[in-house]
Amino acid sequence: MAFEIVVIGTSLGGLSALKILLGNLPADFLVPIAIVQHRHKESNNTLQELLQEYTSLPIREVEDKDEILPGHIYLAPADYHLLVEPGHFALSTDEPVSYARPSIDVLFESAADVYSQQVIGVILTGANQDGMQGLKKIKSLGGLTIVQEPATAESEVMPEAAISAVAVDWILTLSNIASQMVKLCHSSRK
């Protein structure tokens, strides 16, 4: 069974975590990756530029109705929820969830609704509980769940909340998350 999407959620400490994770992915990693990184609503596209230095995979900030393409990394724009729909993304300005817009839960739950067991959900460092409900939904619909080892996170709150709420499949360091994603996604393509 092939995975359709990897969804990643992170908050405090996320930039340095994403640099390591994305930097450890090979150039032939084909499963699309969608990322919610909590950030200020006034923030510009420097996140995309900063992360692009660490990976050869193309990174872009999502625009409404963007097609989901293999081998691409997608960032939720500041102050918009990012939702997965069949074959494309949608953006929404609905109320914040867990005080956040973009919300990790919104991304994860919409991905689970569309692709159920073909989703890999990843929670990284962060200082709130966002992502916990979304990860729970991915797991309940048969998707796979990975959480950053809390001791290695800049902020343990988000990984610990996810681990307390979900029987996660793997609890790993950042570089091991990347290699686990590669293992899962390459074996599913064969």
Name the active-site residue from 28, 38, 64, 88: 38
Task: Give residue 42's pLDDT.
Answer: 75
Give me Rg for the CA atoms of the chain.
14
Task: Give residue 45's pLDDT.
Answer: 72
pLDDT tens digits, residue range 27-36? 999 999 999 9
Task: Give residue 28's pLDDT.
Answer: 94
Task: Give residue 188's pLDDT.
Answer: 60
130 annotated active-site: yes
- Is 8 strand, coil or helix? strand
Name the active-site residue from 81, 103, 110, 130: 130
Cα-to-chain-centroid distance, residue 160: 17
Q: What's the pTM?
A: 0.97
- Strands 88-92 and 81-85, by their bridges, are antiparallel
Residue ranges of the chain whose pLDDT lies below 50: 190
Closest CA to 32 of 125, 145, 115, 131: 115
Task: Give residue 189's pLDDT.
Answer: 53
Name the active-site residue from 11, 98, 103, 110: 11
pLDDT tens digits, residue range 108-128? 999 999 999 999 999 999 999
Task: Give residue 95's pLDDT.
Answer: 96
